[in-house]
């Protein structure tokens, strides 16, 4: 993932967490959207991905990535969170999670698959 003009954060989507949802997102890449916050500890961007809930939970750790099916949003957890909404876990950020603390509304997330 890239926050355009600012930084890159390596992410790992994990099919075993939610096979249907991760498959749908992978087929939809690349995805791009404006950054928003849900409270102080969840950064997200809206997508056109349409996938129902799968293995949903409310408890997430710093660095987790989840899909909020009701809004089609991909969410990135800046700190450990118990969310008010059920979300589908889809992966992890592998590095530089604190960079998300510096994004501003209007910054652009670019979520893509890196090829070797």
* Span 2-20, pLDDT tens digits: 999 899 999 999 999 999 9
Q: How many Cα atoms are found within 13 Å in the side-chain-facing hemisphere of 8? A: 4
Q: Which distant-in-sequence residues (6+ apart) come within 8 Å of 50 by Cβ?
A: 24, 72
Helix (H, G, I), strand (E, B) or coil at 114: coil
Q: Could you give the domains of the chain?
A: 2-111 (2.40.100.20)
pLDDT category, 116, cuts 50, 70, 90?
low
Instruction: Match 């992410």 to its residue by tokens.
Output: 11
Residues 41-63: tens digit of each pLDDT: 999 999 999 887 889 999 999 99
Say how far apart CA 39 and CA 22 lie, in whole Å: 25
H and E: helices and strands count for the chain: 1, 11
Residues 87-109: tens digit of each pLDDT: 999 999 999 888 898 888 789 99
The answer, as to whether pTM is greater than 0.85, is yes
Residues 17-34: tens digit of each pLDDT: 999 999 999 999 999 999
Asked if residues 37 and 55 have their Cβ atoms less than 8 Å apart, the reply is: no
Question: What are the DSSP E strand ranges found in the chain?
Answer: 2-3, 7-8, 11-13, 31-34, 36-38, 42-46, 57-60, 64-68, 73-77, 81-93, 108-111
Say how far apart CA 74 and CA 36 lie, in whole Å: 10
């Amino acid at each position: 993932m890239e926050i355009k003009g600012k930084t890159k954060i390596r992410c790992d989507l994990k099919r075993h967490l939610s096979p249907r949802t991760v498959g749908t997102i992978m087929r939809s890449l690349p995805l791009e959207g404006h950054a928003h916050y849900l409270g102080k500890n969840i950064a997200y961007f809206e997508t056109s991905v349409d996938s129902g809930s799968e293995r949903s939970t409310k408890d997430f750790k710093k660095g987790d990535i989840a899909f909020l099916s009701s809004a089609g949003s991909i969410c990135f957890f800046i700190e450990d969170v118990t969310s008010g909404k059920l979300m589908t876990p889809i992966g992890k950020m592998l590095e530089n999670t604190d960079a998300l603390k510096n994004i501003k509304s209007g910054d652009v997330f670019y979520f893509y698959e890196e090829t070797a």
